[in-house]
Amino acid sequence: MNPAATAERSHGKTWQPTEATTILAFKFSGGVLVAGDRRATAGNTVVYDRADKVLEIDRHSIMAIAGVPATAWEMARVLEHSFQYFRRTQLQEMSVDGKVRALSKLLRDNFGFVMQGVGVVVPIFATYDSHPKPEARLYFYDAMGAQFEATDYAATGSGSPAVRGILYYENNWGAKPLQELSEDGAVSVALRALDTAAESDTATGGVDRSGKVYPLIKIVSRKGITTLPEKKIAAVFKETVA
């Protein structure tokens, strides 16, 4: 048994790890949009309302995290160093398949902690593949490291059922399929999805209207990674969501 958990139970409490949810990603006309709300929780307690769940790994790769931030951030650092080392020693970028398997291995190596009830991470990985043909690639994982390539969208975390419902609806019955949306249209869909998830899931922050805290949104494309400024996100939210 975890010593920290044992100590907490002896004082009449159960220790709860800090967790970060909810994340989503989908392909649109400009590449892949990756978004995450900013809330981190421990049980039913809000620990932090400005957590960074969308992490840049290299010039064309993003890892979004749902689960325990401490474990996920360490995985992100290991991935970043691995990709840099490969690039400097081989004088070329690691292949997308190599990047995807590298993250899968980190998740498998972490499964011992998952079985103990700590350290669970369920990420999304988005990248832009230049070979053999330029295209955006999107993957989601389970806690054991199994990888699945998404053709249109992916979402994980406690608010993901609501998010997937929104994305499914928009992709099939919205004004345009997700892959045909403009940047502003894609941002609007992401904000609506996270805001809807926050209505039914207390661990999802959505948009904090009083504190003016907005989700973190990044886009990966042929040009690299772009972090959308908060002013732009706020403007799209005010115009199309609020």
The whole model's pTM is what? 0.91
Write phi, then psi, for 179 (nearest 5 degrees): -70, -10
27-36, 126-135, 173-182 — which is least confidently predicted? Answer: 126-135
The yes-or-no verdict on residue 13 having pLDDT over 70 is no
Tell me which of 1.10.10.60, 3.40.50.1220, 3.90.180.10, 3.60.20.10 is the CATH number of domain 17-236: 3.60.20.10
pLDDT digits (tens, 9 = 90+) for 51-76: 999 999 999 999 999 999 999 999 99
Q: What average pLDDT does the segment 159-187 reach? A: 96
> In 105-121, which positions are buried (b, 16+ CB within 10 angstroms) versus exposed (e)?
ebbeebeebbeeebbbb
Q: Where are the domains of the chain?
A: 17-236
**Within 13 Å and on the Cβ side, how many CA atoms surround 63?**
27
Q: Flag whether pLDDT at 42 surpasses 60.
A: yes
Mean pLDDT for the stretch of residues 78-103: 96
pLDDT, tens digit, for every residue of 139-152?
A: 999 999 999 999 99
The two structure tokens encoding residue 96? 């997308």
Active site residues per annotation: 21
In the prediction, which pLDDT does 179 show? Answer: 97
Percent of the residues in the chain that have a pLDDT greater than 90, as a whole number: 78
Instruction: Report how far residue 132's alpha carbon sits from residue 39's, in angstroms, rounded to the nearest whole number.
Output: 38
Q: Which residue has the tokens 């892959």?
A: 179
Alpha helices in 30-182 (DSSP H): 69-90, 96-109, 111-115, 160-173
d(CA 59, CA 48): 28
Q: Which residue has the tokens 């941002």?
A: 187
